[in-house]
Amino acid sequence: MRKIDVVTAFKDAVSILKLDKIKMSEIYSKKSALTWALIILVGPFVLNAILISIFSSFVAGFYIKLALLPVLSLAASSFVMALIAQFGFKTKVDYLGLFKVMAYAALPMWAMVVFMILSFAGISGGVSLFSLIMWVSWVWMVIVAYNFLMSHFRVAQKNAMIICGASVVGFMIVQSVLGRILLGGFYSVMFF
């Protein structure tokens, strides 16, 4: 991993956040973008789990499950979106390609790491922003996917709204089911 790769991935993610349709199409078809997509999506959750397990007396296994929940839910959301686009609207979709675009749009979730560090430094409110950052970032990911569906696949606006709406429902169902399985009673406290 070279410094130039990190900078390029960051610039690509910022371009996607700015709804750059050309960059979205480039990331969609770029095979090497999968590694960076995973780093951008999984990174903040893994770092938070590590920080919490270091600075907290709780069992590390709980935090690994806590880190897995949003990542798995967001990944499932992109695959639900691709499934509905492909089978519901007869659009040929590369599942990993759509996942890469949505994962690059998850860049703002790295702010969770900063707020987690601030909370360990004694500045209150950091942990309470965890859910807010995740939800706002996820909503922006859906907006990115909505624009990408219309620009890259030429999906009609109404159909793109249906696909994204179904993805939102899929996300909530997957997160709720996995949250209750992985976290039990803590799920309601952590994510709502």
Task: Catalogue the long-range contacts made by 95-99 (C-beta closer than 8 Å, 24 or more residues apart).
Answer: 96/34, 97/27, 97/28, 97/29, 98/28, 98/145, 98/148, 99/37, 99/75
pLDDT tens per residue, range 111-129: 888 877 777 777 766 556 7
Q: Is the pLDDT of residue 20 over 60?
A: yes
Separation of alpha carbons 30 and 19, rounded Å: 17
* Residue 121: exposure state from Cβ atoms within 10 A (0-12, 13-18, ≥19): exposed
Q: Within a 10 A sphere around the Cβ of 116, how many other Cβ atoms?
A: 22
Q: Where are the domains of the chain?
A: 3-191
3-state secondary structure of 100: helix
Which of 30-39, 43-52, 61-70, 146-155 shows the lowest per-residue confidence on average (mean pLDDT)?
A: 61-70
pLDDT tens per residue, range 3-16: 668 889 999 999 99
Separation of alpha carbons 184 and 123, rounded Å: 28
Q: Please, what is the average pLDDT of the chain?
A: 83
pLDDT of residue 77: 87
pLDDT tens per residue, range 42-78: 888 888 777 777 776 655 666 677 777 778 888 888 8
Q: Is 123 left (phi over 0), alpha (psi -120 to 50) or beta?
A: beta
pTM, entire model: 0.83
Q: How many CA atoms lie within 13 A of 80 on its CB side?
A: 21
Q: Report the percent of the chain where pLDDT is more than 70.
A: 86
Separation of alpha carbons 131 and 70, rounded Å: 10
Mean of pLDDT values over 147-161: 92
Separation of alpha carbons 57 and 40, rounded Å: 27
DSSP single-letter state for residue 110 = G
Q: Among residues 110, 108, 128, which one has the least CA distance to residue 119?
A: 128
| CA-based torsion, 167, 146, 102, 63: positive or negative | negative
Q: How many CA atoms lie within 13 A of 84 on its CB side?
A: 22
